[in-house]
Chains A and B, each alone.
Chain A
Amino acid sequence: MDLTELIFKTVFLIIIFAVTLVVAMYSTYGERKVAAFMQDRRGPNRAGPFGLLQPLADGLKMFMKEEIIPLTANRSLFIIGPSLAMTTALLTGVVIPWGGTLTIGGREFSLQVADLNIGILYVFAMVSIGVYGIMIGGWASNNKYALLGAIRAASQMISYELAMGMSIIALVLTTGSLSLHDIVSQQHGLHWNIFYQPLGFLIFLTCAFAETNRAPFDLPECETELIGGYHTEYSSMKLGFYLFAEYINMFISSAVIATLYFGGYNMPFIGSIGLSPNIVTLLGTAFFFIKIFGLIFLFMWIRWTLPRFRYDQLMNMGWKGLIPLAMFNIVATGIYYFFTELK
Chain B
Amino acid sequence: MQTLTNRSKMVSDKKMTFMEWIYLPAIFKGMSITIRHFFGKKATINYPEQKREFSKVYRGQHVLKRDDQGRERCTACGLCAVACPAEAITMRAAERKPGEENLYREEKYAAVYEINMLRCIFCGDCEDACPKEAIFLTDRIVASQYERKPFVYGKDILVEPLDLNLRIDISARQTEAVHQFKLVKRYAHNK
Interface residues of chain A, those whose CB is within 8 Å of chain B, are 34, 37-42, 45, 301-302, 304-306
Contact = CB atoms under 8 A, between A and B. Distances in A.
19 contacts: A37-B37, A37-B38, A37-B42, A38-B34, A38-B37, A40-B37, A40-B42, A40-B43, A40-B44, A41-B44, A301-B31, A301-B35, A301-B38, A302-B27, A302-B31, A305-B27, A305-B30, A305-B34, A306-B30
B99 interface: no
B34 A41 contact: no
B59 to A, nearest CB: 28
Contacts of B33: 305
Could you say which interface size class chain B belongs to? Answer: 10 to 19
A42 B40 CA distance: 11
A45 B44 CA distance: 12
Nearest to A303: B34
A113 B23 CA distance: 39
Contact of A301 (B34, B41, B42): B34
The 10 closest A-B pairs by CB, nearest first: A305-B30, A305-B34, A38-B34, A42-B44, A40-B43, A37-B38, A305-B31, A38-B37, A41-B44, A38-B38
A41 B30 contact: no
B43 A304 contact: no
A39 B31 contact: no
B96 to A, nearest CB: 48
Interface in B131-172: none
B34 A40 contact: no
Given A301-B38, A305-B27, A305-B34, 16 more contacts: A37-B38, A37-B39, A38-B34, A38-B37, A38-B38, A40-B37, A40-B43, A41-B42, A41-B44, A42-B44, A42-B46, A301-B31, A304-B34, A305-B30, A305-B31, A305-B33
A2 to B, nearest CB: 50
A193 to B, nearest CB: 20
Contacts of A304: 34
Contact of A41 (B27, B39, B43): B43
Given A301-B31, A305-B27, A45 B46 contact: yes
Nearest to B35: A301
Nearest to B41: A40
Contacts of A39: 37
Given A42-B44, A42-B46, A34 B27 contact: no
A304 B46 CA distance: 23
A190 B33 CA distance: 30
Interface in B13-59: 27, 30-31, 33-35, 37-44, 46
A301 B33 CA distance: 11
B17 to A, nearest CB: 15
Contacts of A37: 37-39, 42
Nearest to B29: A305
A203 to B, nearest CB: 12
A86 to B, nearest CB: 30
Given A301-B31, A305-B31, A306-B30, A42 B38 contact: no
A34 B37 CA distance: 10
B120 to A, nearest CB: 29
Contacts of B39: 37
A304 B31 CA distance: 9
B38 A34 contact: yes
Contacts of B37: 37-40
Nearest to A39: B37
A74 B34 CA distance: 43
